[in-house]
Copies of this chain bind each other. A is one copy, B any other.
Amino acid sequence: MGRLKEFELQEALGKAMNVFWKKGYDKTSLKDLLTEMDILNGSFYNTFGNKKSLFLKTLEFYGEEITAKRANHLTTNESFKVGIRSLFEDVFKCFSDKKTPRGCLLVNSLSSELLKDQEVLNFVQTEIANFEEFFFIQLEQAVDSGELDKSINPKLTASILVTYIQGLMKLSSLEISSSKLEKQTSHFLEVIGL
């Protein structure tokens, strides 16, 4: 059965994700990745194929580890209003956390050139669409149950939320004051009726 792997795949993937998150895809060199993942050239290409292929795997990892956990705030809390605030609280907590890179992997690491790659573009589009769909379902439930006002349009509100969050992630990577973003978000939620 041959020699055993000397590193844990999930652990290495997590470390790679952090590098891409912090430096962006283009500015992350193989040397950066190998150093952080603590493996050598051969092991890398043997396991992950190439840089882009690893990147796609870290996008998947991000979806499972980060986005999914954030979505949980909506499903585990008793109401949408409480849940969505809990979700944003989590986002802002990450902004202050020095260990977590600011912003969102999707926002930070994707260059225009990289998005010309159909495989990457498709993956990201799907990820965004899923996130929006998730919001939509949660919003619809909250409207149907009477928690939220009937005047709220779940479809459009879901897409507005996604757009706003993308902007928030961008601004946070511009080192805009976290408390400023927190205040405006709180106001934003009230104004759109959530």
Q: A residues engaging B (CB < 8 A)?
A: 22-24, 26-27, 101, 103, 107-109, 111-113, 115, 121, 124-125, 128, 153, 156-157, 159-160, 162-168, 170-171, 173-176, 180-181, 183-184, 187-188, 191-193
Across-interface contacts of A184 in B (CB, < 8 A): 156, 159-160, 163
Q: Report how far A148 CA is from B175 CA in the complex, Å.
A: 31
- Is B24 a contact of A173 with CB atoms below 8 Å? no
Residues of B within 8 A of A176 (CB): 125, 128
- A contacts with B: majority SS: helix
Docked CA distance A23–B115 (Å): 10
Whole-angstrom CA separation of A159 from B191 in the bound complex? 13
Q: Tell me whether A187 and B128 are in contact in the complex, defined as CB-CB below 8 angstroms, given that A27-B113, A159-B180, A167-B163 are known contacts.
A: no
Q: Please state if B168 and A24 are interface contacts (CB–CB under 8 Å).
A: no
Q: Are A112 and B108 interface neighbours, CB within 8 A?
A: yes
Instruction: Output the least CB separation between A57 and chain B (Å).
Output: 20
C-alpha gap A50/B187 in the complex (Å): 43
In angstroms, Cα B22 to Cα A166, docked, is 20
Cross-interface CB contact of A107 among B170, B187, B193, cutoff 8 Å: B170
